[in-house]
Structure 1
Amino acid sequence: MFDPVRIGEPQRDLRVSPVEPPAITSPAQIQRTLDDAAFVDRPRAAATLVDGLDDRQLSQLGASVEGAAVLGTLDRALASAPHDLDVHAQRTRLAEAMDHSVHPVDADPVGLRSNTQPQAFFERVVTDPVVVGDARTTGITERVGDNTVTWTVDGQGRPIRAEADLSQVFTDLERSNAETDAQREAADRGIEGDHGGHLIGHRFVTDQGLKNLFPQDGNFNVSAYKTLENEWADWIDSGMDVRIRIDLSPAGQDRPDRVRVSYEVVDPASGDVVYDQRVTFRNEAGQKYERVPLADMANYGTHRDP
């Protein structure tokens, strides 16, 4: 026998309402979530984590040493976000929480960048992806002070080429935690003894992340390649501009076997090329580079005062 339906009695909605996942508020859990994300995915992971926290929860994180540290970790991850991910709102909220924390925070919140550092990102251009041979590539151009660099990266964000016009050397630069993390990430793509080596030295472009890094034999990095970078810096300090192209080959693999470098030294007073060089290095120990001595650079061109 069916129960009668009473007139006017409200019917119960038996559907189950979706339950939002709880916000991750534990510093250890936040750190673990970021660590578990691939390096290139960490900015998006950090944005999702911050969006899941309200302002009170962010302030609570800043009240503990561990929580303040993870606020800095989130901010550094967001600082390396790609151009198509707008993270200004999340970084502004983090800046507020870090500003009110009683604990030191190792980060560079929005609006708090030291004026002693070069303004590295006041111009950035990213080209649409194109197919070159079998590789899908993207060009990324950064203006860093007076220097301009264009990196070509493959579909996995690995650098294939860098082209630079350099006329400024920055001193007393500290590498951010995000940059040193990227160097470890690049080194891990290589073999034992590799460093995360910069295509264009950090002193010329500051922190640029994985697009400027490749697995580079450690001895090669600190010997021949460093000698080459020192020569570029000396040319610039002598009043010259340096135009550089670096190609890593073969393209489309984690660790290049060859590093082909060509560069021209330009006298800005006349626009003349006063010196040029071409060299191909093997990505292994024992590489040599015979640089132009600083004392000889005065013999090239008409110099401006440094």
Structure 2
Amino acid sequence: METLHEIPALRARLADWRDNGLRIGLVPTMGNLHDGHLALVEAARARADRVVATVFVNPLQFGPHEDLDSYPRTLNDDARRLSRCGCHLLFAPSEAAMYPHGRDAHTVVEVPGLSAQLCGASRPGHFRGVTTVVAKLFNLVQPDLAVFGQKDYQQLMLIRRMAADLCMDIEILGLPTVREPDGLAMSSRNGYLTPAERARAPALFRTLQELAAWVAAGTPPAQAERDAAQALSVAGFEPDYLSVRRRADLAPAGPQDTALVVLAAAHLGRARLIDNLELDRIVAEAH
């Protein structure tokens, strides 16, 4: 596997691949890779001739009091793991390479409306940073395919919307969440959990499963959300949100909506954990 840090070198390598008619897959990451990231690489390998993984801790998606400075940076270990799973190229640029005019003077890309709810309401500006860096990576790599995890459900929807709105001819593939044996969604921030917190952490997914079951059985979403938030609090979490939404657009679930997703974010110690679960609800026909 080749590792590159500069944009001109990246473009030269990609031009050579394109000249040879090779299909290119992209897996953007912030590093500190786990098996969930590697599953994205493997999915890209199955669908492309060459796979580019990127490692860049993007400062634009961190708020003023978030963990930008402490976010784990494990580039050497990431490179070894990517190489072992068959990645062809690792692009690990510096902040200066990505934002030569500085963080505050850089052109930004933002998806209106969808960016402002759920995680966007709790982390103002976060998704503007995500769509800005992903748009830049899409422009640099110009992949045929890009792979993202469904754990970041709202992010995946935003990237699909951005790509469609900006006429980017890129197939966006979402992969199911990769979980630990006890159900906890794999995340780079799970390393923040103490042993006691790690033992409690699977309660987030169990609560989502209960919430989904209540809604499927006919409990009104607002009541199910309140009960689930209470259950999370009892389990030691500080809930940010638990919400039942339409899968199509993440609008609040209406009485006749059947294709739904339940989403949650909650703090457990230093870690802010997110998760989601899709469900299909049967709605009785009106007579």
TM-score by length of 2: 0.28
Larger radius of gyration: 1
TM-score, normalized by length of structure 1?
0.27
> Using CA pairs below 8 Å that are at least 6 residues apart, which structure has the higher relative contact order?
2
- Structure with bigger helix share is 2
